Amino acid sequence: MTKTDTVVDFDVALIERARKGDSRAFERLYRDHVGRVHGLCLRMTRNPELAADCAQDAFIKAWKALPKFEARSSFSTWLHRIAVNTVLEKRRGPSNAEFAVEDPTEYEEPVMSFDTPVEEEELEAAIQSLPQGARDALVLCGVYGYEHSEAASMLGIAVGTCKAQLHRARGLLRDRLERGVR
């Protein structure tokens, strides 16, 4: 049994307890997943306050929808889908002015770690400067590791569009990092 299997088994036990109304079990699920959900929302919204609202809304929706969770995917994948949908709903809302660019160095977890001369702050700034569609595809596929089909489904776009957006994001990111554009 691997560590991942142990985590999944632990989540399954917590989910079953939470389904039966155990709020402490759901609180544990919240604590275990809130960092990544908030990071996902922050990278998609580029606004710390809005990201916190989206993450909170995603967990509220998850609590309400927990009885319908069929475990066809992992809990974290299901939760990320809810978070992405929450962000997309906010974007379609009455005002998109909330999606202003903020300081990317305030993220609580690094986007990527690799041995290059690029500083983390430069990388975060370059990612945040990408067009929305390219940034969303990069965050979901490149940062969180979702398959193109999963990311496309979350974003409500075709798989080919997701692949094209990711390709575009990588090219723009490479150009911006080479030129030092932040």
Q: How far apart are CA 93 and CA 172, in angstroms?
A: 28
Write down the H helix ranges in 46-158.
48-65, 75-92, 120-128, 132-137, 148-155
Q: How far apart are CA 28 and CA 87, in angstroms?
A: 23
* Mean pLDDT, rounded, of the chain: 82
The ranges assigned to domains in the chain are 1-109, 114-182
Residue 153 CB: number of other CB atoms within 10 A? 15
pLDDT, mean of residues 10-28 = 90
First to last CA, the chain: 44
Residue 21 CB: number of other CB atoms within 10 A? 9
Q: How far apart are CA 55 and CA 25, in angstroms?
A: 18
Q: How far apart are CA 167 and CA 161, in angstroms?
A: 10
pLDDT, mean of residues 166-170 = 93
| CATH class in words for 1-109 | mainly alpha
Q: What is the pLDDT of residue 117?
A: 58
Among 17-31, 85-99, 101-115, where is mean pLDDT lowest? 101-115
Q: What is the pLDDT of residue 31?
A: 95
pLDDT band at residue 71 under the 50/70/90 scheme: confident
Q: What is the pLDDT of residue 95?
A: 53
Q: How far apart are CA 107 and CA 150, in angstroms?
A: 24
Task: Please tell us whether the domain made up of 114-182 is placed in CATH 3.90.320.10.
Answer: no
Between 160 and 96, name the one with better pLDDT: 160
Residue 40 CB: number of other CB atoms within 10 A? 23
